[in-house]
Amino acid sequence: MRNLFSKVYNKLMYKIYIYKNKLQLVKFIGIKKGKNLQVYGNIKIFGNRCNIIIGSNCSLNEGVMISANSQISFGNNVTISSYSVLHTGYLDLNGFPIKSHIYKPITIGNNVWIASHCIIGGGITIGDNIVIGANSFVNKDLESGYFYAGTPIKKIRKLN
């Protein structure tokens, strides 16, 4: 009896897993993506999904938020850790008190790791072979081959 229950339970869990994967695939309709995209947990995507281009061997972790009112492109081997935010828009202060937004693209190079709780602003270009430390605010372009951290972001040291 226990074996029968175990087989039925395993089949049921398999169907739920497949069902969740189908739900996950629905989130990515319209996004241009390469091979081996890994998604761990729930992510939120706002704006136009057609503005998102994801390279091969990328991973997005729990709580990542992507606001794609302008283009966001990921290179290959990019990891976005938990609860990081990529936001293409910001307020236009020149038109104050009238509130308007400006949208600029975000470009992320190859072999980039963005640690937990980072915020990437619009109009930013992140080079290749970069690690960004946790809780960092990226408000300027980042040169390839370095470790960056802080709020606002600072170059810490060269990577090997």
Query: What amino acid positions are annotated as catalytic residues?
Result: 87
Please state, in angstroms and rounded to a whole number, the distance separating the CA atoms of residues 137 and 57. 25
Residue 50: φ, ψ to 5°: -70, -15
User: And the tokens for 68?
Assistant: 């794609």
Q: Are 146 and 159 in contact (CB under 8 A)?
A: yes
Give the CA count within 13 Å in the CB-facing half-sphere of 80: 32
